């Protein structure tokens, strides 16, 4: 197995960021749609696989099982070249710091990819709501399954951030989440074989999910799936609606994710390895 140095990885990130920013808009949107779907696939697996675990093994192991299953989504994203906003929140700034793109390209990438991720995530939420989260009788009447009940509980927890301190908590969890997500991508780029990339991704992603951090794209699936599934119960859950989805989670998780990627990954690593990065760029 070949491993690349941190400076080499930073150059790879900058070059890849430039390539991402130069994609045609519809191509970028399709790749982003796929990334939203893939992250939702991991989230759906984590939801189903963790159902009932906490009641038997305790909350800690329940969280671990959720975290252990979720990484399949990012593994698919990385290995297929799909466009994920949280990763691109590191790629584009690193490219900008290396002078390969301007701020306009960064905004273009972030906006298109964010929209594509949202479409893909909600699309999967719809499919799963009418799939494993509900059971249907011959008359077409739906009953929420155990998996659906688990999905509602996850979504309800994610929109429970209220008040200034609740919002700050969500923001901080967003920072920590994307710091780990971008570290997973960074480590994957340090390896050149598939198995090493999978292991490099699995550990940080398991850590962020098991720790209860907040990922804006994952939440674009978790919360809509909970909203749609809860619609079959007739129950009212505080803030579990399309407005609460944004005001009680996704806005603050997104801002935290951006800070985690831009400051703690792109800027910090560029600062730490600037001389080596510049030397590698000049040698190209």
Per-residue pLDDT tens over the stretch 186-206: 999 999 999 999 999 999 999
Assigned domain for 51 exists = yes
- DSSP secondary structure letters along the chain: --B--HHHHHHHHHHHHHHHHTS-HHHHHHHHHHHHHHHHHHHHHHHHHTTTHHHHH-HHHHHHHHHHHTTHHHHHHHHHT---HHHHHHHHHHHHHTTSS-HHHHHHHHHHHHHHHHHHHHHHHHHHHTTTTEEE-TT--EEE-HHHHHHHHHHHHHT---HHHHHHHHHHHHHHHHHHHHHHHHHHHTB-SHHHHHHHHHHHHHHHHHTT---HHHHHHHHHHHHHHHTTTT---TT-SHHHHIIIIIHHHHHHHHHHHIIIIIIHHHHHTHHHHHHHHHH-
Listed as ranges, residues in the chain with pLDDT below 50 are none
Assigned domain for 56 exists = yes
Assigned domain for 270 exists = yes
Assigned domain for 256 exists = yes
Would you state the pLDDT for residue 283?
75
Assigned domain for 109 exists = yes
Would you state the pLDDT for residue 47?
98
Would you state the pLDDT for residue 284?
67
pTM summary value: 0.97
Would you state the pLDDT for residue 2?
66
Tell me, what CATH number does 183's domain have?
A: 1.20.1080.10
| Domain range for 151 | 6-283
Would you state the pLDDT for residue 3?
84
Furthest CA-CA distance within the chain? 69
Assigned domain for 253 exists = yes
Would you state the pLDDT for residue 1?
57
Assigned domain for 247 exists = yes
Assigned domain for 1 exists = no
Would you state the pLDDT for residue 93?
98
Structurally, the chain folds into a number of domains equal to 1
């Amino acid at each position: 197995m070949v491993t690349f140095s941190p400076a080499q990885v930073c150059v790879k990130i900058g070059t890849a960021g430039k390539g991402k920013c130069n994609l045609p808009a519809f191509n970028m949107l399709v790749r982003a749609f796929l990334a939203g779907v893939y992250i939702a696939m991991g989230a759906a697996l984590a939801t189903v696989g963790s159902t009932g675990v906490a009641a038997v093994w305790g909350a800690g192991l329940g969280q671990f099982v959720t975290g252990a299953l979720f990484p399949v989504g990012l593994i698919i994203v990385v290995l297929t070249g799909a466009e994920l906003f949280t990763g691109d929140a590191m790629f584009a700034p690193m490219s900008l710091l290396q002078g390969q793109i301007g701020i306009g390209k960064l905004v273009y990438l972030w906006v298109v990819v964010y929209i594509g991720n949202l479409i893909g995530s909600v699309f999967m939420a719809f499919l799963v709501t009418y799939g494993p989260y509900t059971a249907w009788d011959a008359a077409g009447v739906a009953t929420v399954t155990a998996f659906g009940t688990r999905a509602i509980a996850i979504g309800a927890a994610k929109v429970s951030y209220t008040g200034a301190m609740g919002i700050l908590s969500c923001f901080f969890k967003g920072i920590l989440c994307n710091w780990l997500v971008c570290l997973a991508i960074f480590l994957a780029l340090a390896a050149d074989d598939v198995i090493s990339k999978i292991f490099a991704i699995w550990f940080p992603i398991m850590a962020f999910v098991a720790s209860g951090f907040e990922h804006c794209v994952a939440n674009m699936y978790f919360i809509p799936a909970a909203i749609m599934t809860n619609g079959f119960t007739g129950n009212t859950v505080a803030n579990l609606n399309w407005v609460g989805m944004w005001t009680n989670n996704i806005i603050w998780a997104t801002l935290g994710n951006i800070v985690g990627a831009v400051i703690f990954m792109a800027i910090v690593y560029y600062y730490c390895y600037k001389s080596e990065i510049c030397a590698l760029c000049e040698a190209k």
